RNA sequence: GCGCCCGUAGCUCAGCUGGAUAGAGCAACGGCCUUCUAAGCCGUGGGUCAUAGGUUCGAGUCCUAUCGGGCGCGCCA
């Protein structure tokens, strides 16, 4: 059920009857104010401009041809040519009654399933995951879940950093730890951040260590068995740390989704050779470079894109080109979505240009780099990762659960300690995720413990609480799993809730198109808020409520609970029966 | 120097391909629990949408300039 889509089709049909088929835009939107109805059709004004006619007159003609008598209670022309549509309560009720019992919650079956490759999370395995990895990980996961629910074939790609120059120093350090007989699991690699710091310190201070490190990188990348073995030990441990975080975060990534940088190793040399052979790349100051005229500055100086360093080493640019080829051709992607920090915007812009020139990206493959802002400290200045300012993701999540537990302790409940711990976990993690997912900002954002761990207002706990309130009623009413009744819409609070309930698919479409889960966050908050209002205003199980009214309201409650559950699930946020 | 992103209420942010009187939450203030769960509900106050021009029936949204913040720009990723 997609009311906006339905109204758009009806409007376009009416336009067609008026002889307008090209360049017409129905411009259907949700009404901005209650007195303008539920939806407004704004297309008449732009069309009138094209035809050089009076917009109100055109709107009138359109209105007469508009076949929406069954769904609209009233249709009115207002202002310069707006068409305001107020939906009919009976129509809404009947649509809802159908949707409420649908296994897809009223969301249509995807008519054109696509293969979508989603590149997200991508931590650097040299270090532990920190708060900077949160956005990519959970936004990507929410988009993935939404695409899968819609019916696309999603291929997750965790482009982990496992091949950089730091690994020489890390494995050299590891080698010494092993020689000293230190237990790797519980001591040496228990804290990757400490391990990295130790190795870096030796690299800077200890004579001979830096040379050994550089030597080990070369050996590693040329396939030396000893170095490979050490490297593998380190990588395995680091991946385990990531998996712990994913599990805590309720993120769907698994080892099967890992396609690290090293996996593209064999493709790099042939790609460089091909780019040179095609005259796309040229030698410049000892390196191989692609000069992009498309990104030239005002003087016409092209933008350089280095694909091979002086001395033959490859860079992440080369790896990303290989990833394009693999994803577009081998995985047959219709669309590639990459979630990274905005600082890489130029890089991905260049990657796409080069990949298109060389055919690594097929024409049919859309390439969407979805950037987000750099993280700042609470003072508004860039978050320093080197000066001890790093907040480990695992620590943030632990803190969230501790704080949620503290809030829970203040409540008088009859919940067991086990239930309380489970609720604190879901509330704490949910709060962290919602705080981040609900923001659209492509600009920089400020990391704040308090904002991240807030449990009041538009937060995950609010949505979880709304869910438990509904569930509580349904438990009390002892409704059967297959409970069914006809929905009747009377009170204004019911009408507003009904319209919102029928906007789920509309919301999901937008989330997928823009790769912006914050739209789903907004929707769910509004849904929960409208349910709360309905809950306060419309008694269900109280004395004096007519059976038919009670059953209708129970149906509204059941469907609200299902949508809240599903919506939060798509965000990767868990719900509970009680809190 | 050049380029990209951004500037909306005291704070954090919404604002769907340009639409009508710019919306939430937090904070402040005032109401609502002999309870269908008060992590809630209802209400009040709070704005030159950075600034100045321009495009048009209409601009927070598009264009230009300026100011302010962040980031990027040949061998890290």
Tell me the nt nearest to A443, Cα to C1': B6
Other CB atoms closer than 10 Å to residue A56's CB: what's the count?
17
User: A75: which 2 tokens?
Assistant: 């249709």
Q: What is the pLDDT of residue A373?
A: 87
User: A336: which 2 tokens?
Assistant: 């590639």
Q: What is the pLDDT of residue A546?
A: 94
What's the average model confidence in pLDDT over A340-347? 94
Tell me the nt nearest to A514, Cα to C1': B16
Q: What is the pLDDT of residue A193?
A: 86
Q: How many whole angstroms separate alpha carbon A244 and alpha carbon A369?
A: 27
Q: Which helix (H) or strand (E) holds A287?
A: strand A287-292
What's the average model confidence in pLDDT over A249-264? 97
Q: Closest protein residue to B22 using CA and C1' atoms?
A: A32
Q: What is the pLDDT of residue A34?
A: 86
Q: Which positions ≥6 away from A276 have C-beta within 8 Å?
A: A282, A288
Q: What is the pLDDT of residue A242?
A: 96
Least confident of A16-20, A143-147, A377-381, A467-471: A377-381
Q: A77 CA to B60 C1', in Å? A: 26
Q: Which helix (H) or strand (E) holds A187?
A: none
Q: Closest protein residue to B21 using CA and C1' atoms?
A: A33
Tell me the nt nearest to A493, Cα to C1': B41
User: pLDDT tens digits, residue range A509-531?
Assistant: 999 999 999 999 999 999 999 99
Q: A477 CA to B4 C1', in Å? A: 57
Tell me the nt nearest to A165, Cα to C1': B76
Backbone angles phi, psi at A565, to 5 degrees: -60, -50
ipTM score assigned to the predicted complex: 0.96
User: A93: which 2 tokens?
Assistant: 């009720």
Residue with tokens 């009720």: A93
β-strands A282-284, A153-157 pairing = unpaired
Is A24's pLDDT higher than 90? no
Tell me the nt nearest to A412, Cα to C1': B37
Q: Which positions ≥6 away from A548 have C-beta within 8 Å?
A: A485, A486, A488
- Residue A187 vs residue A435, higher pLDDT: A435
Could you say which nucleotides of strand B lie within 7 A of any protein CB atom? Answer: 2-7, 12-17, 19-21, 23-27, 36-37, 39-42, 56-58, 69-77
Q: A521 CA to B24 C1', in Å? A: 12
> Which residue in A366, A388, A367, A368 sits closest to A377, CA to CA?
A388
Yes or no: say if A375 and A131 are a contact pair by the CB < 8 Å rule.
Answer: yes
Tell me the nt nearest to A528, Cα to C1': B40
Residue A155, SS3? strand
User: pLDDT tens digits, residue range A87-140?
Assistant: 999 999 999 999 999 999 999 999 999 999 999 999 999 999 998 899 999 999
Backbone angles phi, psi at A28, to 5 degrees: -85, 130
Tell me the nt nearest to A372, Cα to C1': B5
**Within a 13 Å sphere around the CA of A446, how many CA atoms are in the beta-carbon half?**
9
What's the average model confidence in pLDDT over A338-345? 94
Q: A112 CA to B56 C1', in Å? A: 39
- Residue A328 vs residue A164, higher pLDDT: A328
Q: A384 CA to B69 C1', in Å? A: 17
Backbone angles phi, psi at A540, to 5 degrees: -115, -60
Yes or no: say if A150 and A107 are a contact pair by the CB < 8 Å rule.
Answer: yes
**Mean pLDDT across chain A, nearest whole number?**
93
Q: A346 CA to B73 C1', in Å? A: 9
User: pLDDT tens digits, residue range A458-483?
Assistant: 999 999 999 999 999 999 999 998 99
Q: What is the pLDDT of residue A385?
A: 44
Q: A463 CA to B9 C1', in Å? A: 25
Q: A312 CA to B74 C1', in Å? A: 14
Q: Which helix (H) or strand (E) holds A372?
A: strand A366-372
Is A386's pLDDT higher than 70? no
User: pLDDT tens digits, residue range A298-326?
Assistant: 788 899 999 999 989 899 999 999 999 99
Q: A24 CA to B54 C1', in Å? A: 27
Q: How many helices (H) and strands (E) does chain A have?
A: 20, 13
C-alpha torsion angle, residues A317, A321, A324, A326 (rounded to 10):
-120
What's the average model confidence in pLDDT over A249-254? 98
Residue with tokens 């092993």: A178
């Amino acid at each position: 059920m997609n009311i906006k889509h339905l109204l758009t089709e009806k409007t376009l049909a009416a336009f067609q009857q008026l002889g307008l088929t090209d360049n017409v835009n129905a411009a259907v939107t949700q009404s901005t104010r209650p007195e303008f109805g539920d939806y407004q059709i704004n297309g008449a004004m732009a069309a009138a401009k094209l035809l050089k006619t009076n917009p109100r007159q055109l709107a009138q003609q359109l209105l007469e041809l508009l076949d929406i008598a069954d769904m609209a209670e009233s249709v009115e022309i207002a202002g310069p040519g707006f068409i305001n549509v107020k939906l009919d309560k009976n129509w809404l009720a009947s649509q809802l009654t159908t949707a409420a019992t649908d296994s897809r919650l009223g969301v249509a079956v995807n008519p054109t399933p696509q293969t979508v490759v989603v590149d997200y999370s991508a931590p650097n395995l040299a270090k532990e995951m920190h708060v900077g990895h949160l956005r990519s990980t959970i936004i990507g996961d929410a988009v993935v879940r939404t695409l899968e629910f819609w019916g696309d074939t999603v291929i997750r790609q965790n482009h982990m950093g496992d091949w950089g120059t730091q690994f020489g120093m890390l494995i050299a350090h590891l080698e010494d730890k092993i020689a000293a007989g230190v237990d790797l699991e519980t001591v040496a690699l228990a804290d990757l951040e400490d391990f990295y710091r130790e190795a870096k310190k030796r690299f800077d201070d200890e004579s001979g260590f830096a040379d050994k490190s550089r030597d080990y990188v070369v050996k590693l990348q040329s396939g030396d068995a000893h170095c490979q073995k050490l490297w593998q030990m380190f990588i395995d441990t680091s991946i385990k740390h990531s998996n712990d975080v994913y599990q805590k975060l309720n993120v769907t990534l698994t080892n099967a989704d890992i396609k690290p940088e090293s996996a593209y190793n064999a493709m790099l040399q042939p790609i460089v050779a091909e780019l040179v052979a095609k005259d796309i790349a040229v030698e410049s100051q000892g390196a191989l470079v692609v000069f992009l005229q498309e990104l030239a500055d005002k003087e016409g100086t092209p933008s350089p894109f280095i694909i091979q360093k002086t001395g033959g080493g490859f860079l992440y640019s080369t790896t990303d080109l290989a990833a394009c080829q693999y994803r577009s051709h081998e995985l047959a992607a219709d669309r590639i979505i990459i979630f990274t920090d905005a600082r890489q915007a130029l890089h991905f812009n260049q990657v796409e240009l080069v990949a298109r020139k060389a055919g690594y990206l097929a024409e049919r493959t859309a390439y969407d780099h979805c950037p987000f802002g750099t993280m700042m400290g609470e003072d508004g200045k860039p978050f320093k990762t080197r000066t001890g300012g790093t907040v480990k993701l695992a620590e943030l999540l632990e803190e969230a659960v501790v704080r949620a537990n503290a809030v829970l302790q203040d409540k008088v409940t009859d919940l067991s300690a086990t239930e309380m711990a489970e609720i604190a976990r879901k509330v704490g993690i949910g709060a962290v995720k919602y705080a981040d997912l609900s923001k659209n900002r492509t600009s920089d954002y400020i990391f704040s413990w308090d904002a991240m761990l807030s449990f009041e207002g538009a937060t995950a706990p609010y949505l979880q609480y709304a869910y438990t309130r509904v569930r509580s009623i349904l438990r009390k009413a002892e409704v059967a799993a297959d409970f069914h009744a006809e929905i009747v819409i009377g009170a204004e609070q019911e009408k507003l809730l009904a319209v919102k309930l029928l906007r789920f698919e509309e919301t999901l479409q937008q989330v997928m198109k823009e790769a912006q889960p914050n739209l789903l966050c907004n929707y769910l908050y509004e849904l929960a808020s409208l349910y709360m209002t309905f809950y306060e205003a419309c008694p269900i199980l109280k004395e004096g409520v007519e059976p038919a009214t009670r059953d209708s309201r129970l149906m509204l409650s059941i469907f609200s609970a299902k949508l809240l559950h599903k919506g939060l699930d798509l965000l990767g946020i868990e719900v509970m029966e009680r809190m």
